[in-house]
Amino acid sequence: MGDNTARTTYDAFAPIYNEFNHQNDYEMWLGDALLPELEKHGLKRGRALDVGCGTGRAFGPLLRRGWEVRACDLSPAMLERAREEGGDKVQLDVADMRELPVYGEFDLVLSLNDSVNYLLGDEDLERALAGMQANLADDGLLLFDVNSKGTYEAGFWSGSSHTVEHEGRSWTWSGIGEVEGEPGIFHNRIEGDDIEPIDHRERFRSEPEIREAMSAAGLDCLAVLGMHEIDNKVVLVDPPDESRDYKVVYIGAKAA
């Protein structure tokens, strides 16, 4: 994604990804918060396509609720770990979301954990969303999230660091900030046990920019929600607050 920076990043990150992110609770995010929100917009349980699935952390909440899941990611190394999550229940494919094949008609197409923020090029977001739109059933729903402006400017992307420890190993995430000469693109580095230094680059996408890309890709934007947590529970709010919420969630459908 972007150039192929994301593949390089996540091939390197795959061996420790789940351990580094061991506190992430997909049952809380997806199962308890996002799926009930989608049901308010008419979500029908059936087939789901997970785009940019990473190590497959979203599979469990879907499979436990009776969904049939197919998934793809740019990184073969991440998909190897995803096989541990999905086993023979989830068909996996290597795919660049900017050139997403049409796998079928899905009741839900989702792309979580700021996957679309790795789309660095000006036209990349529209291309990716058009591919997701092409995989939606006529009454299907699209779900994706992006990091908020506050996450980039005041979080671990800009000047601060964070150390993660897990089962005797540790890693440090260091925020470097906005890339000089590339407005809106932020850089960080992860260093620690059992890995070479890993560089991340993501692009902040504003709500007007995302809405415009959705429309150009043949999608209606049904909802834009801020996401934050209170007492270890996800809270979704309308409208989002880019300084308070750590993510902004978009729900879309095929344009009428």
Q: What is the mean pLDDT of the chain?
A: 95
Model confidence at 2, pLDDT cuts 50, 70, 90, reads very low
Assess whether pLDDT exceeds 70 at residue 214.
yes
* Predicted pLDDT at 159: 85
**Over residues 46-71, mean pLDDT:** 98
| Architecture of the domain delimited by 5-147+204-254 | 3-Layer(aba) Sandwich (3.40)
φ/ψ (deg, to 5) at 226: -80, 150
Contact 48, 110 (CB under 8 A): yes
Assess whether pLDDT exceeds 90 at residue 21.
yes
Q: Cβ atoms within 10 A of the Cβ of 84, count? A: 11
10 Å CB burial of residue 167 (0-12, 13-18, 19+) is exposed
Strands, DSSP E only, in the chain? 47-51, 68-73, 90-94, 106-111, 136-147, 158-166, 169-178, 185-192, 198-203, 219-230, 233-237, 247-254
Classify 250 as helix, strand or coil. strand
Q: Where in the chain is the domain with CATH 3.40.50.150?
A: 5-147+204-254
Residue 28 carries which side chain, given as an amino acid letter? Answer: M
* Predicted pLDDT at 3: 57
Provide, rounded to the nearest whole percent, the portion of the chain with pLDDT above 90. Answer: 94
Model confidence at 156, pLDDT cuts 50, 70, 90, reads confident
Contacts of 169 (CB under 8 A, 6+ apart): 16, 19, 192, 193, 194
Classify 70 as helix, strand or coil. strand
91-149 tens-digit pLDDT: 999 999 999 999 999 999 999 999 999 999 999 999 999 999 999 999 999 999 999 99
Residue 75 carries which side chain, given as an amino acid letter? Answer: S
**Dist. CA 44–CA 36, nearest whole Å:** 11
Assess whether pLDDT exceeds 70 at residue 172.
yes
Where is pLDDT greater, at 4 or 94? 94
Q: Cα 166 to chain center, whole Å?
A: 23
58-69 tens-digit pLDDT: 999 999 999 999
Distances (CA, A) of 120 to 40, 149, 179, 200: 32, 16, 12, 11
**Dist. CA 109–CA 47, nearest whole Å:** 9
